[in-house]
């Protein structure tokens, strides 16, 4: 059973100073159309060892990107681009290839998951390790293609929601509940029409569910209404995980962990610090804090939930969904001359 204990915020703060033995890494940031670019850059640039990355990496170059058909991207990309230049002295370049020539590592931040594969291809070909913000891609096929291409070229990638590293989550995972039998994760699940339903905001509570239960889900069943999604996964060892996606109402988030000794509830509280620390450590060491296989399973879970919705709530095999997307990803890479 996989139950990777995440690093507590206090431990991360103590370790941050150790990561600063060398000069800061030069980071290139792709997609300046989300508030994450400002928040993450501010944390990375802080010299305070108790904050985020502790100054081990600095954003020196950026590529604006942006998606005209998503208002939350199109309406913000210009403002965030100017803020990156004015507040942090980031050089704005006109193509990703130029960005790669100026940096050691890359953070792909585009709020729209659909262009992530196209945007990461030149990064992988330049052999730059890359953090890819949520959603990893706009489809499971593209997510798998990213993984295949990165492995082919020896490039490391990491993707995660901040929910995995919230202080309340690390405290929950440190509790001894005995053998874990299941979990409930609830949180926001706003739908964006260009993405599979759960990829947009449902990724957050789904990531939290997998933080609690790890890999091994075999079937997925989804119940969908306008305001709520309930997705039930059955794990190979008998664990049952339930995702409750909330929208058009109050959207708090929490994980409830069910064990043989006790039932534990996630305490409140959460900031970006924990995730940014993990990003900085990954960029520095190339060691991926979450197995890529687990990240791909998260996206398989969400895509299988869409398939269950299309089938009127019938159970869907995770393996079938993954295998179909894997075959399509290989064919796509072959058609591009990349495989």
Q: What six digits make up the tokens of 29?
A: 């940031």
Q: What pLDDT shows up at residue 49?
A: 66
In the 8-state DSSP scheme, what is residue 163?
Answer: G
Specify the CATH number for the domain of residue 189. 3.30.360.10
SS3 275: helix
Residues 266 and 278 in one domain: no
Q: Produce one character per residue of 150-179: b if its CB has 16 or more CB atoms within 10 Å, e if not.
A: beeeebbbbbbbbbbbbbbbbbbbeeebee
Domain match, 104 and 181 both: no
Question: Domain check: are 140 and 81 in the same one?
Answer: yes
As averages over each run of 10 residues, the pLDDT of the chain (339 residues) reads 38 41 88 97 84 84 96 95 97 98 98 97 98 98 98 98 97 97 98 96 98 98 97 98 97 97 93 94 96 98 98 98 98 97
Does a structural domain hold residue 333? no
Q: Please tell me whether residues 303 and 278 are part of one structural domain.
A: no
> What whole-number distance in Å separates Cα of residue 133 and Cα of residue 113?
9
Q: What angle do CA 70, 71, 74 make, to 5 degrees?
A: 90
2 within a domain of the structure (yes/no) = no
Helix 77-88 vs helix 35-45: angle between axes, to the nearest 10 degrees?
20
Query: Does residue 238 sit within a domain?
Result: yes
Q: What is the count of structural domains for the chain?
A: 2
Helices (H), the chain: 9-16, 35-45, 71-74, 77-88, 96-101, 116-125, 140-152, 167-173, 203-213, 273-285, 292-310, 318-335
Q: Does residue 304 lie in a domain region?
A: yes
Query: What pTM was computed for the model?
Result: 0.92
The pLDDT of residue 215? 98
Question: Kind and range of the H or E element at 94?
Answer: none
Q: Are 18 and 122 contained in the same domain? A: yes
Residues 20 and 69 in one domain: yes
Q: Are residues 263 and 240 in the same domain?
A: yes
pLDDT attached to residue 268: 87
Chain centre distance of CA 90: 24
Co-location of 139 and 215 in the same domain: no
The size of the chain, in residues, is 339
Answer yes or no: is 336 within a domain.
no
Same domain as 278, residue 263:
no
Q: Are residues 27 and 116 in the same domain?
A: yes
Start-to-end C-alpha separation, the chain = 34
* Same domain, residue pair 78 and 215: no
Residue 143 domain-assigned (yes or no): yes
Q: Is residue 193 part of a domain?
A: yes
245 & 175 share domain: yes
What confidence score (pLDDT) does residue 22 get? 65
Note the pLDDT of residue 45. Answer: 92
Q: What is the CATH number of the domain that holds 75?
A: 3.40.50.720
pLDDT of residue 53: 74
Domain range for 64:
9-162+274-285
**Can you tell me the distance from the alpha carbon of 165 to that of 253, in angstroms, rounded to the nearest whole number?**
14
Residue 4 belongs to some domain of the structure: no
């Amino acid at each position: 059973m996989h139950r990777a204990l995440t690093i507590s915020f206090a431990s991360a703060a103590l370790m941050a100073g150790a990561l600063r033995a060398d000069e800061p890494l030069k980071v290139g940031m792709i997609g300046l159309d989300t508030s994450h670019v400002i928040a993450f850059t501010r944390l990375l640039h802080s010299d305070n060892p108790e904050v985020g990355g502790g100054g081990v990496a600095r954003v020196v170059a950026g590529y604006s990107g942006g998606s005209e058909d998503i208002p939350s991207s199109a309406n913000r990309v210009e403002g965030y681009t100017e803020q990156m230049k004015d507040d942090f002295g980031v050089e704005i370049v006109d193509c990703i290839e130029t960005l790669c020539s100026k940096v050691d590592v890359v953070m792909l931040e585009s709020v729209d998951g659909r262009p992530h594969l196209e945007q990461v291809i030149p990064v992988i070909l330049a052999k730059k390790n890359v953090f890819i913000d949520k959603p990893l891609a706009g489809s499971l096929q593209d997510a798998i293609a990213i993984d295949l291409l990165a492995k082919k070229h020896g490039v490391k990638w990491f993707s995660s929601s901040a929910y995995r590293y919230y202080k309340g989550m690390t405290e929950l995972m440190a509790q001894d509940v005995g053998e874990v039998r299941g979990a409930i994760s609830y949180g926001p699940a706003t739908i964006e029409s260009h993405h599979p339903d759960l990829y947009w905001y449902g990724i957050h509570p789904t990531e939290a569910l997998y933080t609690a239960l790890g890999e091994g889900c075999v079937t997925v069943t989804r119940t969908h209404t306008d305001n709520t999604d309930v997705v039930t996964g059955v794990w190979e060892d008998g664990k049952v995980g339930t995702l409750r996606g909330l929208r058009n109402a109050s959207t708090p988030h929490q994980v409830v962990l069910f064990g043989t000794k006790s039932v534990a509830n996630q305490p409140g509280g959460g900031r970006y610090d924990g995730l940014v620390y993990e990003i900085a450590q990954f960029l520095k060491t190339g060691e991926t804090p979450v197995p890529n296989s687990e990240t791909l399973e998260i996206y398989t879970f969400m895509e299988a939930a869409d398939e269950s919705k299309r089938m009127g709530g019938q159970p869907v095999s995770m393996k079938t969904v993954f295998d179909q997307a894997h075959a399509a990803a290989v064919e796509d890479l072959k058609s591009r001359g990349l495989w």
